[in-house]
Amino acid sequence: MPSPEQVLDFDTAVRSYVEHQAKEAKHDLHKRQFAYILSHWDSYACQVTGEISEQTQVVVLSFFPRDYRAQDGFDWRTTKVSVKGGGASFFYVSYDPVGKVFRSIWINSPR
């Protein structure tokens, strides 16, 4: 189990990665999405799951509004968050735990 300090350090690292991606954004839509994400950063919850992608371990960080409820009885602590649409309210960051580097970010489509 990570310590509170490790969680805070990781949160800071994820935000730095997102800020860097925002600076690199070329399209107006992406710039607006990143601006939304960064201005609402503290309103997101984050679900962390592990996956194997092309025989490589990947940690997927799923960000979603803290008040998100897919349906009655939904508990994001026991059920994987998977949403289509919703725009910048839902985004995902992949992390390579072996290389200790963030690999990519996906922002849901607006619809």
CA atoms lying within 13 Å on the CB side of residue 43 = 11
Whole-model pTM above 0.85? yes
Who contacts 5 (Cβ-Cβ below 8 Å, separation ≥6)? none
Arithmetic mean of pLDDT, 90-109: 92
C-beta separation of 88 from 67 below 8 A: no
Q: Which two tokens stand for residue 110?
A: 């607006």
pLDDT given at position 1: 56
**pLDDT one-digit tens code per residue, 9-65:** 888 999 999 999 999 999 999 999 999 999 999 999 999 888 887 788 888 999 999
**Residue 66, pLDDT above cutoff 70:** yes
Judge whether residue 2 has pLDDT over 70. Answer: no
CA dist 63 and 91 (Å) reads: 5
